[in-house]
Amino acid sequence: MAEAVVTPLRPKRPCPECGRASQRATFPFCSPRCKDVDLNRWLSGAYAIPVRDDEDDQENQGLAGAEPDERLTRP
C-alpha cells in the first residue's frame, strides 16, 4: 500500500524572538516565554507602528477653518 504524503498547512517559521522552531501551541513563538517577551515589548512601547506626520497635518489643515458641526459631518 502506498503511503500518503502529508503536507503541512503552513510553512515552518522560526520564532521571531529567539530563532528556534515555532511550536503549534504558541505559534508563531517557540514557547510561552518568548510569547510573553514579545507582548511585554508591545505593552511597554518598544514596538510602535510608524505614523507619517505629513498625512496628519494635511487632514488637520483641511478641517482647521471649519465650524465644529462641519468637523463631525465632513468625511
Tell me if 56 is assigned to a ligand binding site.
no
Task: Read off the pLDDT of residues 47-58 as tens digits, 9 standing for 90 and up.
Answer: 888 888 776 566
Task: Read off the pLDDT of residues 15-29 as tens digits, 9 standing for 90 and up.
Answer: 999 999 999 899 999
Q: What pLDDT shows up at residue 19? A: 95
Tell me if 47 is assigned to a ligand binding site.
no
Residue 7 has pLDDT above 80, yes or no: no
CA atoms within 13 A on the CB side of 59: 8
**Average pLDDT score over residue span 28-57:** 88
Tell me if 19 is assigned to a ligand binding site.
no
Whether the model clears a pTM of 0.85, i.e. scores above it, the answer is: no
> CA-CA distances (angstroms) from residue 36 to 1, 26, 45?
46, 10, 14
- Percent of the chain past pLDDT 90, that is, above it, reads 43
Tell me if 17 is assigned to a ligand binding site.
no
